[in-house]
Amino acid sequence: MRLAAAGVGAAQLSAVLITHLHSDHLTDLNDVITTRWISTFESTPLTVVGPPGTQAVVDSIESMLRADTGYRLAHHDDLTEAPITEVIELTEGPVELPGGPRITAAPTDHRPVEPSVAYRIEHDGRAVVLAGDTVPCTGLDSLTRGADILVHTAIRADVIANIPIARLNDVCDYHSSIEQAADTAERAGVSVLVLTHHVPAHPPGQGDEVAAIASRNFSGRIVVADDLTTVTIPEEHS
């Protein structure tokens, strides 16, 4: 639904990047696989890139979808084979995809969820880093250095620390706080820090306090992103 709202159909996807195997980062992959399959009229694989363990997840999804796949093959004469996926598992290094932008992965620290990775996407001399969920670490620092934009999670550690629920407090153990995300962006010298995956969530458009916290540690532009936020890379940064 978010792809459609952004003006991108599933049939336009050639690859999906997964940072780690927490459910909130891959639960909708089954819909992506199915929707791309039934809306694509030539047989091309969907490449799923992620850390070791991704192949097992994709295999399980395809097994779960087996009955649905059978129904659709029986109903549509022009569907002649099941969805085709190709999985690339890695923890660091270049992501070998045909054409498109240059993509590089690096290890992050989301333990006990491991391995986890971040991605750097480069095109026309510009670079964006997708941090995923992580605490500050050398892998992310190296990957982000010299990029234009860092997209990072935003955990309100100051709020969570005052909630007497251990399971919620544990969230701070393996996510970066707003301040830590801002520190990572400042060390890397990026122009724009995009904060997302907000915990706890705030109403859309009411992220001024989040931005104010980040601004204490980061001197560049700060975007507190809601779903479908669009960010333009500044012309002056290279």
Measure the CA–CA gap between 228 and 207, rounded to whole angstroms.
15
Is 80 exceeded by the pLDDT of residue 205?
Answer: no
First to last CA, the chain: 33
pLDDT digits (tens, 9 = 90+) for 49-76: 999 999 999 999 999 999 999 999 999 9
The catalytic site residues sit at 24
Beta strands at 192-199 and 149-155: parallel, antiparallel or unpaired: parallel
**Is 117:105 a contact under the CB 8 Å cutoff?**
yes
What are the tens digits of pLDDT across the range 207-217? 899 999 999 99
Residue 31 pairs with which residues in a beta bridge?
none
Pair 163, 122: CB distance under 8 Å? no
Region 149-176: mean pLDDT is 89
Q: Is the pTM of this model over 0.85?
A: yes
* Residue 100: pLDDT band with limits 50, 70, 90: confident
For each of the domains in the chain, give its residue range(s) and CATH number, in order of start.
Answer: 1-89 (no CATH), 91-238 (3.60.15.10)
Q: Which residue has the tokens 């669009």?
A: 230
Comparing CA positions, the residue from 105, 148, 154, 147 lying closest to residue 133 is: 154
Q: Is the pLDDT of residue 203 over 80?
A: no
How confident is the model over 8-32, as pLDDT tens digits? Answer: 888 889 999 999 999 999 999 999 9
At residue 238, the pLDDT reads: 47
Cα dihedral angle (196, 50, 24, 61), rounded to 10 degrees?
Answer: 150
- How high is the pLDDT of residue 172? 84
In the structure encoding, which two tokens stand for residue 177, read together? 């706080």
